[in-house]
Amino acid sequence: MKILEIKEIVRKDVPIYYRRFFSGIASIEFLENKMERHIDFFIETKPTGQKEILVTLAEPVDYPLVPLIRALKTAIDTLDDNGDLPL
């Protein structure tokens, strides 16, 4: 399983400054099949400076969720570290 990209990322306004809410479309490849699923995710910065990423899928997926969510969190963390998420 591989996350190809997360595209059409849109930031939604949240009144809490340490929590950022986004939605987008994740392109996923597994077993030589490609699919796109709508995702929503939060990035919350803890008082210690640690980031917590929460991901929800809007549509069902025929793949175990734990490794998929883990891979999405890693991809989102990379996007955030590189500054590729909308402000």
Q: Which residues of the chain have pLDDT under 70?
A: none
For the record, the structure tokens of 28 come out as 């996923």
pLDDT at position 9 is 96
Each residue of 60-72: pLDDT tens digit? 888 899 999 999 9
Let me know if residue 87 belongs to a domain.
no
Q: Structural domain of residue 11, as residue ranges? A: 2-82
pLDDT at position 68 is 94
Sort 44 into a burial class: Cβ within 10 Å, 0-12 / 13-18 / 19+.
Answer: middle
User: 65: how many CB neighbours lie within 10 A of its CB?
Assistant: 12
Count of domains for the chain: 1
Let me know if residue 16 belongs to a domain.
yes
Strand residues in 1-87 grouped as ranges (E): 2-12, 19-30, 33-45, 51-57
Let me know if residue 17 belongs to a domain.
yes
Let me know if residue 47 belongs to a domain.
yes
